[in-house]
Amino acid sequence: LDWAKPKRHIQLSPQPFLKSNIRHPDVYDIAIVGGGVTGTAQAYVFTHFIRGVSKVLLLEKNQDVALVNSNTDANAQTAHGGDTETNFSLEKALKMRDAEHLLASFLEKDGDNDGAFRRLWKMAFGVGKDEVHIIKERFKMIRSYYPTLELLDPEGIRRIAPKLLEGRDSGVEVAALYRPNGYSVDYHKVSKRLFGKAMESGKLDSFFKTKTRRIIRKNGLYEIRTNNGVYLARAVSVAA
């Protein structure tokens, strides 16, 4: 029974090194989890416009920003302004209008050389008595909030989008809400632009291929536990 005798010297293998056990020393004013258009927009705002914020953290599980819902092929690339979205309440429409104004101001500031956006017209097209009634009532409700919005009759529609009326029964009522100054947006490229502006501030640290596993409150701070270690922050925004 030699195997049962105690050994005088036992060699232990060292504990394997795990990146998830690293505790990063910095304490951030705000940590942002998720690098899509929402997360990069927050990074831009916090690094440029919020007083008292000097250290911002952005954590993204992929190798670049905006590779999931904000990726070029993953959404309709529309900037919603609330004018041609006939299912929005007035309150929601005005919130969307203000958000679109902010986005448009950011986009126009640096121009469209990177293909981040295109200027185009927008239209909500109604066919039949019921839909035409909705279009007309909608126009009455929101026209004072959208100075460039027009209510188009068939002739106006034919002027802008003649294909919509080709082959259509002229006895069926049609009408449309039309705005000439809309935007088509590539949110991946916009996210890259937002991220670049935030990095230029010198206030942002970013870590890619970093998946957040758990967030806990401890000793007055938030511990963000990831596959690449533990990060500390005074506040956390989950934009994933």
How far from the centroid of its chain's Cα atoms is residue 154's Cα?
A: 36
Closest by Cα among 105, 78, 81 to 93: 81
Which uninterrupted H or E stretch holds 233?
strand 229-233
Provide the pLDDT for residue 113. Answer: 87
* Cα 16 from Cα 6, distance rounded (Å): 26
Tokens of 195: 């991220």
Instruction: Write the CB contacts of 186 (distance below 8 Å, at least 6 apart in sequence).
Output: 72, 77, 115, 116, 117
What is the distance between the alpha carbons of residues 160 and 94, in angstroms, rounded to a whole number? 26
Question: For residue 7, is it left (φ>0), alpha (ψ between -120 and 50) or beta?
Answer: beta
pLDDT in tens, the chain (240 residues): 555 555 454 454 455 557 778 999 999 999 999 999 999 999 999 999 999 999 999 999 999 999 999 998 889 899 999 999 999 999 999 999 999 999 999 999 999 889 999 999 999 999 999 999 999 999 999 999 999 999 999 999 999 999 999 999 999 999 999 999 999 999 999 999 999 999 999 999 999 999 999 999 999 999 999 999 999 999 999 999
Confidence (pLDDT) at 219? 94
Q: What predicted TM-score, i.e. pTM, was given to this entire model?
A: 0.85
- Which residues, at least 6 apart from 56, have a Cβ–Cβ distance to it below 8 Å? 28, 29, 30, 31, 32, 43, 46, 47, 198, 203, 204, 205
> Does residue 86 sit in helix, strand or coil?
coil
Helix axes 90-110, 129-142, angle to 10 degrees: 70
pLDDT digits (tens, 9 = 90+) for 203-220: 999 999 999 999 999 999
What is d(CA 48, CA 41) in angstroms, rounded to the nearest whole number? 11
Which pLDDT belongs to residue 20? 78
